[in-house]
Structure 1
Amino acid sequence: MSLRIIVVLAVLTGVAGSPGVTIRPEADSANMTAHPNSVPEVLEATEIFGQEVPVEEEAEEDVMATGELNPNHYPARRAAKVVQHYLNTRYGSPFRLFGLHNVHSGNAEDVADSGRKYQLEISVQEIISNTTEKCSAEVLFPREQQRSPQVQALCEELLKINTKAQEEALFLKYKMNQSLLSAQNLPDSYGHIEPDNKPLWHLGIVASSFVMLNESTENTLYNMAQVANITQLATESEQLKFDCHTLLHEMVSQEIVHWKLLFTWSPPEGVKVLQMEQLPHCHDCEKPPNTN
């Protein structure tokens, strides 16, 4: 009997974690070993990516519920998270990143043969300037699983943030470097990123948003975990080109998914993903120790 109690307490401790630290699989800080394919235990920076509701609440509301949704439960939050990925793919840059701050209200309805539509009122945060705006959004999950969600979002004030001068200066710096850039483990096992590597980390987030938007369904919840490595490639075009290995965390399945991305970036054109390839699951990767 005493052994059973100990086991139960151990499980509860693992779920709840320390009251001072939010443990989550999404991303600005990650616990990783140096191995690029190791499985991370990631600490959430809630001010960057928004605070997720506990997994236990999933059972309280059917994923396929219609009508008014509880904004604190996963059906509304999954749809809202897709809006974050959409905004990053459309407007993200090394100096402009969007994160879900809060969900205020949500409504879901079946739309004939098209799919299921979510109407949302959410707060979106532009991370770098620490600016938050309440936005209206619509997300349609097509019935065809192979198609990505269709998103519309109205966040006028956030899109007025002007980062043109910063982007042009960084582009010129990268373009004129004597050697091609390369970085690994962003962030490292202590959650640290060197200041010079933060633009690369931000570019990795934006590029990964293309994958997360494309792969999202009503039954998934993707978050950024880590840029395992990113390398600048030689190019004669007016776009900078990067090869990137990124780690994403799918919170529902609790799987760490590895993706290889080839993308370009320039201030006028933004981030454009040329190729994306899901890498095989690494069964033999060493899991880093719990450093919480």
Structure 2
Amino acid sequence: MGWTLLILLVVLTVVHGNPTVTVRSGSGPTVGFNRHPNSVPLGEDTQTTTEEESEVVEEVMMTGVLNPSHYPARRAATVVQHYLNTRYGSPYRWLFLSTVNSGSAEDVADKGRKYQLELTMQETISNVSGQCSAELLFPGGEGQNAPQVQVSCEGLCQSNTTAQEEAFYQQHRASNNLASGSNIPDGYGHMEPSMKPFWQLGGVASSFIMLRESNESTLYNMAQVANFTQLETEKDQLRFNYHVLLHEMISQEIIHWKLLVTWSPEQGVQVLQTELQPKCHHCEAPPSTTN
């Protein structure tokens, strides 16, 4: 009887092999399908042995052709927007990014990462659009260095705002009542028409900060003019103290800056002083407003 049982067990082992049991946890990680448009999963044949290792790891493709609608291309394009505003902006000319038509990026040895972009930019007042070609370099290495921008545009900055600018300048250069305002736009996204040139001037001035502070991990936008106060005219320049709220859309931080701004039709916008304010952890971005 004992020999018969032993022979039966040997036969079963040969036929079926050593039995194994696989347990699949129902609470294991879920693979998401909303992948970064400029990313690819790492090796499909990679074997993992732990729950953390089984998660899909993605490597952001920051070189080569970029998806025009996603962050790497739009971050770089928004920096071009800030650069154009520092060159051409005024209380009646504020440029913004309309469309990224195409873009590519490449690493430049010992220099950083260079972007080539084809863009459509638009003026807020006239709604005039123009096509721009831009080259942008985010410097490599340690420290915060401003991006380097070269851009050429066709059909942009051709609207004639000279009469509006001159009237605004003359009105406020000799006025006995220095202008001031706060919460532009207000909590509902509204602003008085008389405040719009000051809002736009604050946006142009903010571009000086946003250009300087931008890198490949940021995406800045001005959220609100918390307040502004006109100062006495000096050397034919209108002078203002501005307190602006910048929205860093990647981290969702609201960042406060104080600026000393001057402007005249001849000299353009200049930012003479900047002061970063302490973080406001409970601050939220105000509702957006149409430009």
TM bucket (normalised to shorter chain) is: 0.7 to 0.9
Which of the numbers 107, 124, 148 marks the counterpart of 1:127? 124
Could you tell me which amino acid in structure 2 is paired with residue 158 of structure 1?
L
1:143 aligns with 2:140: yes
Alignment of structure 1 residues 122-201 onto 2, 5 Å: 122-144=119-141, 145-201=143-199
Tell me by how many angstroms 1:63 deviates: 4.9
TM-score (normalised: structure 2):
0.76
Alignment of structure 1 residues 6-45 onto 2, 5 Å: none
Which of the numbers 90, 95, 112 marks the counterpart of 1:93? 90
Is the CA contact (8 Å cut-off) linking 1:222 and 1:250 kept in structure 2?
yes
Tell me by how many angstroms 1:195 deviates: 0.8
Task: Give the match for residue 102 of structure 1.
Answer: 99
Is the CA contact (8 Å cut-off) linking 2:236 and 2:264 kept in structure 1?
yes
Cα deviations across residues 185-229 of structure 1 (Å, max 9, x unaligned)?
000011111111111001000000000000000110001100000
- Report the secondary structure of 1:122's partner residue: strand
Is the CA contact (8 Å cut-off) linking 1:57 and 1:74 kept in structure 2?
no
- Identity in percent: 62
Is the CA contact (8 Å cut-off) linking 2:254 and 2:280 kept in structure 1?
no
Which of the numbers 222, 241, 248 marks the counterpart of 1:250? 248
Task: Give the match for residue 45 of structure 1.
Answer: none
Q: Which runs of 5+ in 2 are unaligned?
A: 1-33, 40-58
Tell me by how many angstroms 1:162 deviates: 2.1
Number of aligned residue pairs? 235
Distance in 2 separating the partners of 1:80 and 1:94: 22
Cα gap change, 1:57 to 1:245, in 2 (>3 Å): farther
Task: Give the match for residue 17 of structure 2.
Answer: none
Which structure has the larger Rg? 2
Tell me by how many angstroms 1:279 deviates: 0.3
Cα gap change, 1:120 to 1:284, in 2 (>3 Å): closer
Is the CA contact (8 Å cut-off) linking 2:223 and 2:245 kept in structure 1?
yes
Distance in 1 separating the partners of 2:213 and 2:285: 27
Cα deviations across residues 173-192 of structure 1 (Å, max 9, x unaligned)?
01121211100000001111
Distance in 2 separating the partners of 1:106 and 1:60: 12
Could you tell me which amino acid in structure 1 is paired with residue 110 of structure 2?
D
Distance in 2 separating the partners of 1:236 and 1:290: 35
Is the CA contact (8 Å cut-off) linking 1:63 and 1:218 kept in structure 2?
no
Cα gap change, 1:289 to 1:70, in 2 (>3 Å): closer
Whichever structure has more helix as a proportion of its residues is 1
Distance in 2 separating the partners of 1:163 and 1:180: 23
Is the CA contact (8 Å cut-off) linking 1:122 and 1:135 kept in structure 2?
yes
Could you tell me which amino acid in structure 1 is paired with residue 97 of structure 2?
L
Cα gap change, 1:189 to 1:234, in 2 (>3 Å): same
Is the CA contact (8 Å cut-off) linking 1:117 and 1:141 kept in structure 2?
yes
Cα gap change, 1:64 to 1:274, in 2 (>3 Å): farther
Task: Give the match for residue 279 of structure 2.
Answer: 281
- Report the secondary structure of 1:94's partner residue: coil
RMSD: 2.0
Is the CA contact (8 Å cut-off) linking 1:248 and 1:256 kept in structure 2?
yes
Cα gap change, 1:107 to 1:59, in 2 (>3 Å): closer
Task: Give the match for residue 16 of structure 2.
Answer: none
- Report the secondary structure of 1:208's partner residue: helix
Is the CA contact (8 Å cut-off) linking 1:94 and 1:203 kept in structure 2?
yes
Structure of greater relative contact order (alpha carbons < 8 Å, 6+ residues apart): 1
Distance in 2 separating the partners of 1:67 and 1:95: 37
Distance in 1 separating the partners of 2:285 and 2:160: 40
Cα gap change, 1:214 to 1:63, in 2 (>3 Å): farther
1:203 aligns with 2:201: yes
Tell me by how many angstroms 1:94 deviates: 0.8
Distance in 2 separating the partners of 1:245 and 1:195: 20
Cα deviations across residues 28-72 of structure 1 (Å, max 9, x unaligned)?
xxxxxxxxxxxxxxxxxxxxxxxxxxxx76575355611111111
Distance in 2 separating the partners of 1:198 and 1:157: 24
Task: Give the match for residue 234 of structure 1.
Answer: 232
Cα gap change, 1:64 to 1:215, in 2 (>3 Å): farther
Cα deviations across residues 118-161 of structure 1 (Å, max 9, x unaligned)?
00011101111011122111111011442100111111321222
